[in-house]
Amino acid sequence: ANQRTNIPGLLAAGECDYSIHGANRLGANSLVSCVYGGFIAAPAALEYAQNVERGNGANGSKLYDDELKLQQGFNDDLLKQSGGENQHIIHEEMGKWMTDNVTVVRYNDRLKATDEKLVELQERYRRISINDSNMWATHAMPHARQLKNMLELARVITLGALNRDESRGAHYKPDFPNRDDDKFLKTTIAEYSGDGPVLSYREVDVSLIEPRKRDYSHNKQDKAGTAASATASGLPPKDGAQQVPSDGSELKPQDLSSATIWGQNKEQVRDVNHGEAETRREQDKSIDDAGGKKV
């Protein structure tokens, strides 16, 4: 409740809030995650901070020192690594494999191959070298730290998709084109084990809103019929469609601040204030007769 997670003091809002994703992920739910999640999480975080039980200053300092020592240990381990692997190449390869095989359209054989590749990249990651002597302002260290996390999360996404043999929202498998609520109306949970993600599932509460099939075909047919009727009657179609005058010429403003409009016939210009029309050739002729130059 209130965007809280199972970790005390950690709240989730935005893209990481899975509770309202599902089939409408490509529709309005991404906006809801951002706006509503933040709207609820902010006062909940304030309430938690105001009411959380606090220890004495000595305990707080010890917690800080222990965490600092832990994080410094991670950095020291990275600095001790030696090998010929380049962290940026590993990052690039990971991105290419994920983009090619683990976006919206997904095939199980490609997902399996991608996970095998990710395991290989994790092994190669252990042989990267931080070739930067300036640890105070280095970009290599934070990038290497984040790359390790990216590889872990990439496996979570890939294995979660591999195990879900259905199509739902932004997860589409051509080999399993339909939604399977009997098997997969549930949330995927991944836990860190140190040896690959451990997946489990949690049932989704649908007691308030019963799931139904999302079908846009009827709406598309209605829009197509409306557009055809508008065209037949000489009216421009709605929904932002391009409006074309009945004579077939599209009038494009040369300058939105000017009253001059050029027609599709580039030789003609019309003054909308006075209704007068003349050709460019006539304009040029009058300029030449006066001894002037065209600009």
CA distance 266 to 251: 10
CA distance 23 to 214: 8
Determine phi and psi for 15, rounding to 5 degrees. Answer: -60, -30
Domain ranges for the chain:
82-203, 245-295
What is the tens place of the pLDDT at every residue in 10-21?
998 887 776 776
What is the tens place of the pLDDT at every residue in 240-268?
444 444 444 444 344 434 444 434 444 44
What is the tens place of the pLDDT at every residue in 170-220?
899 999 999 999 999 998 999 999 889 999 999 988 888 888 877 666 655
Using a cut of 0.75, tell me whether the model's pTM lies above it.
no
Query: Tokens in use for 110?
Result: 């490609």
For residue 237, the model assigns a pLDDT of 52
Angle between helices 87-101 and 108-125 (to 10 degrees): 170
For residue 99, the model assigns a pLDDT of 96
For residue 277, the model assigns a pLDDT of 46
User: 82-203, what's its fold?
Assistant: Methane Monooxygenase Hydroxylase; Chain G, domain 1 (1.20.58)
Comparing CA positions, the residue from 121, 194, 197, 212 lying closest to residue 160 is 197
- Rg, C-alpha atoms of the chain: 31
Tell me the pLDDT band of 118, cut-offs 50, 70 and 90: very high
Q: Is 165 left (phi over 0), alpha (psi -120 to 50) or beta?
A: beta
- Measured at the alpha carbon of residue 120, what is the angle toward residues 191 and 128, in degrees to the nearest 5? 100
For residue 242, the model assigns a pLDDT of 45
What is the tens place of the pLDDT at every residue in 30-88?
777 778 888 899 999 999 999 988 766 667 788 889 999 999 999 999 988 888 999 99
